Structure 1
């Protein structure tokens, strides 16, 4: 019986139909996440296509049809078609010539099944005819999808040896789509976990943060630690840190707070600034994320007492994260715009102070302004008068 993809909004797009016409209906199939997510009834974000045409042929056909393209990964057979509804990656069918676990040397192919065989999981190797919406399933992906089973194509050990990052991808996909665990996959990931040491830090960070961004990554993270996978990429995450992540996710749910991957990463490491900086450097996080992770690792024991004061000192993003990390409510910071102290140093100079005394006075007034929950300018001027009076009488 021929399986057909249910009609979805994206399958009716005129710009996608124009791309299929440009390449020839026999030369293009939709593949990967868009197919999988449509079958699951999930929103579709990105559209990917496969073709037996070589990259230069794809670009020429698109040019003739008036479709702009960008050679985003032409060495590996990928060009991006810039369509009205969003970019579409079109990749020439491939087979692996050699792999070393970090990168692959590929050759272009003409056989759809051969292309499917080099993919990671059966549920990601479903192809769809753009006109008839017929599904081409070479390795039992439809059955696995129905069973909510994440299974490697062929031998899990071989698939992982081809690309060691597939260990982390397995855990991410299993958390998103899996129900029962695939024991063969679990054992292969555990056995080959040490091979991840050779991966680029950026690729590891990307997958780890994607796992942490899932609705509830705690059970998956705990299993990764139990299987010896997590210690390879994040040895700082011990039993107490796993428990802290679980508490954080429970706190997020209690206060209906957005689950942020960086805050969850902070839960998985000791609350020590130096440790946070080391982890951020190892994972090659951006400067912004490095600074935020270090801030999140700051002292947390009294953070819940004055959320706005915390936000004023460290910024709203770090403050909200630190509140969640100690189980406190971050909602007082919602829609609160961090104010500027309504007092300038020049105004203090006009009152007769100079040099370092101006800075000291500004800090004293600011401290009391924060303590009184950021009152308006009139009260700030009153605080200045009080401090000046105390200075005169002391």
Structure 2
């Protein structure tokens, strides 16, 4: 009798665990954009949000340009006159203007792109056809203008009562982002998640295929020997690069060799992978080998923890002559918040890393540096302004009214606290 009772209990325990596992696996990804759109007439729509037909998740990035750089005024007088060589070059994150000797004209040379993940944004207020006032989670406002198609575009929302609306930019007053309810909300769909095999190693995270497809309902386009195909990513098990195209394996076991479209050949714009607690890596097609689509893990369901109240950058800067300076940091005469993003290249791989995830930065030469992350990973990044001698310099505010400026070649290491 005791054995019978034990067997029954074990059966129910097994059934409970099995059902619980299936429920966990079927949970929707909770880190999609959600909130209110308030129009210029005061109408309010609430639901899942998509930035036109692109950004839809908290890990997606909002891009624009800062209207002004408030840290230019801290430049030493000796650096106000910009090197003539600098005027002749155009960096991806600098706007070149003619220098007329006036201090204010330096704004043009030290203007910067602004990038942060949607998960770090509290609200975006439309202030013009090409301008916004962006509010971070700490309540800090940043005035931004143009610089990408994220400004001046339509914003989509699945209103909980009305369904999908595509609201014109000039009708929007403010978009307020909120945490979505735990259940019962229609959203734009589940993310593509997978294991990416490249010439640089194996990476697991959320995928943007061809810089475009990011939802499991999105379609992979290609031409088979029998005609054109558009296959939902939800049906795909693996994509493997082959000569002049890709071999696509479905969960059903069927396989197709596809060619002739930029989703499946060398015209692919790149595969972006977002890795929790690391950042985004953009792999060109030349480094891609294969992608295995897998269910996202339970750890990824807690992605809200990756986004918290924005803080000022704070740490210690060590100079090459052994001196140490601790205080509030402004990096590249620009990035001052831990929600802002450091950009760098490694052999055509384009990295975008939130400063929040960075433990230290150590210049290694004039054109690259070692970036150590808080999770222990080490990245050698170069070429971009943030990670080379193109860097405009680092400010350390020792006290409110006391600061020091440092040039790239003077820095031994920066440790963020």
TM-score surpassing 0.5?
no
Who wins on radius of gyration, i.e. which is larger?
A: 1
Query: Per chain length, whose mean CA-contact separation is higher, i.e. which structure has more relative contact order (CA < 8 Å, sep 6+)?
Result: 2
Please report the TM-score for the alignment, with normalisation by the length of structure 2. 0.22
Q: Pick the structure with more helix per residue.
A: 1
Q: Pick the structure with more strand per residue.
A: 2
